[in-house]
Amino acid sequence: MLIHYGDMESALATATDWKRYPYNRASDRESYSQILFDMLGLPEVPAELSGNITMHQCLRLMYVDQLTPVFKIFRMDEKDSAIRRQAVGDLLCGAFDPRIYQNQLELRLKERQYEAINQQLEGAKTLLATAEDFPTLQMMDQHIQSVLEERGQVAGELDELRGKRRGADPFDTKGQEAIEALKQRLDEANAILTDKDQDISELRYTLQDSDALIVEIERNLRFLDQGNTVRETFGPLAFHICPSCFGPVKQSSDHEHCHLCKEPLESEQDRTRYMRIRNELNQQIRESKYLREARAVELTKTLTDRNNLIRDRDQVRIEYLSLARNYVSDVDTQVDTLSSKLGALNNKLTELDKRKAFVAKLQGLIDHKQSLNDDISALKEEIEALERKALARRQAANTAISRKMLEILSSDTETEEFEEVTSATIDFEGDNVYLEGKTSFSASTLNVIRNAMRVAMFQASIEDPKFNFPRFLLMDNIEDKGMTEGRSQNFQRMLVDLSRSLEREHQIIFTTSMVADDLDIPELTIGEKFTAERKSLRTL
């Protein structure tokens, strides 16, 4: 959809000042439904639960066509579902609370995470049953410390033996080359670590800068909305003192020009500029958050790489120091035995480090599981509280629509069908309207009921600010299903009288082939009038 931020005159005058928005949303691009929802002040319905509530879905309740069966209140649609209809009804009745759907999405995610952790813990229990069991990190640290002490003792004995032999046998060429190779590997590892530390510092600085930028843009957006609210509430500000020279400003009765700079006041142009700037700030926020996420992922990966490099570097350093201090050209049987034992202890330490990491991961899973369990309980309680509040609003909206609907039906020409009707129920999920729990009426009466329900919802939305139903109604079936001329014209007059009684700006469009004579005036009718002699379909 192409959208122009301006009035109709400027839209028709330009072919370039338009912005193009897709049907589907993307991570870095809004859909046109999101743009329209934002302009109308409508909250967004998460797509995962509601089936992607779009402007098209809202129009299904605002447009009455001829092809949809008269016992349905939503226009027919291929991609239809009960949960989607209920979400649309709640949204337009003001009973929709985005926190319910957001919490339900978060609850689903945390429940999946909880189940995944449960499965991992079950697998870990099986593994621990067949391996040496180290249930706590404290026990693991004690075991590792014991092995380190034993390794230190063996290394000391080995150093002492090699010290006695160092004077007898000088380094040979092969030993020197091995030491140099280890030294080169150690220097390369330190250089890489230095680069990684620099990368981490830059990423952290960039993340801090991104956070500051997002806060600043969001602050500007709030100021922009506050400024627009002040402008719409109070209009142009009147200065009594000049902000430049601090002298008194001469007041003028001319309200079409700024009393300070004398430039013409153009409220529509201000509104256009406000919407354009607001959209640009929202786009900047989305792009900044998208880039911040990517940098956060990169920082996590870089930190993991650094930890792995440190472990490899320390292993090379141990080998280098051991060889540089203790290398001799020949080692007797006792030195060989101690060297083998030292190697075995090193391997054991490596295995213990792995087991410690496993135990730490296991403990982390247990802690995470408990945290998820707490979050799930809190989310369920919050969802229940919000749903109780939404239910109360839903019932209040239904009551308001029902009351106005019965008033409309009481003015119908065939009121005998509604003589015993004292209540009406709108079932968005079931796509039906019930009068005293009944839906069995003639086709023409069902048509009146469906139209009356739509008009009642439209009227309630104008009188109750909690409704989100736009002040727009389109009905293409006034005398559908065999309705008599008198009944149709009575409904037409009711619509016109209702429109004239409403104090807020709105628009009602309806089509009829039996327009009442007193309504067939230029103020109300648009387009040609077709008759049996002058048909709408005719040859040229």
Note the pLDDT of residue 131.
Answer: 47
Confidence of residue 30 (pLDDT cuts 50, 70, 90): confident
Note the pLDDT of residue 13.
Answer: 92
Confidence of residue 50 (pLDDT cuts 50, 70, 90): very low
Neighbour count for residue 326 (Cβ, 10 Å):
19
Note the pLDDT of residue 187.
Answer: 80
Residue 258: which residues within 8 A CB-CB, separation 6 or more? 236, 264, 265
User: Lowest-confidence range among 236-245, 419-428, 444-453?
Assistant: 236-245
Confidence of residue 255 (pLDDT cuts 50, 70, 90): low
**Cα(482)–Cα(486) distance, integer angstroms:** 12
Note the pLDDT of residue 32.
Answer: 92
- What's 482-525 look like in SS3? CCCHHHHHHHHHHHHHHHHHCCCCCEEEECCCCCCHHHCCCCCC
Query: In this predicted model, what pLDDT tens digit does every residue of 360-379 receive, in sequence order?
Result: 777 888 888 899 999 999 99
Per-position b or e across 114-152, b if 16+ CB within 10 A of its CB = beebeeeeeebeeeeeeeeebeeeeebeebbeeeeeebe
Note the pLDDT of residue 266.
Answer: 65
How distant, in Å, are the alpha carbons of 118, 179, 197, 275, 305 from that of 192? 39, 20, 9, 50, 10
Confidence of residue 26 (pLDDT cuts 50, 70, 90): confident
Residue ranges per domain, the chain?
A: 1-41, 44-93+391-519
**Cα(338)–Cα(390) distance, integer angstroms:** 76
Average pLDDT score over residue span 388-400: 93
Note the pLDDT of residue 163.
Answer: 66
Whether the pLDDT of residue 189 is over 80: the answer is: yes
Whether the pLDDT of residue 130 is over 70: the answer is: no
Note the pLDDT of residue 126.
Answer: 65
Query: In this predicted model, what pLDDT tens digit does every residue of 205-235 receive, in sequence order?
Result: 788 888 888 888 888 888 888 887 877 776 6
Average pLDDT score over residue span 156-167: 66
Note the pLDDT of residue 289.
Answer: 87
Note the pLDDT of residue 134.
Answer: 46
**Cα(269)–Cα(277) distance, integer angstroms:** 12
Mean pLDDT, the chain, integer: 82
- Amino acid in the structure at residue 491: F
**Cα(109)–Cα(113) distance, integer angstroms:** 6
Q: Using alpha carbons only, what angle is made at residue 471 by residues 469 and 473, rounded to the nearest 5 degrees?
A: 90
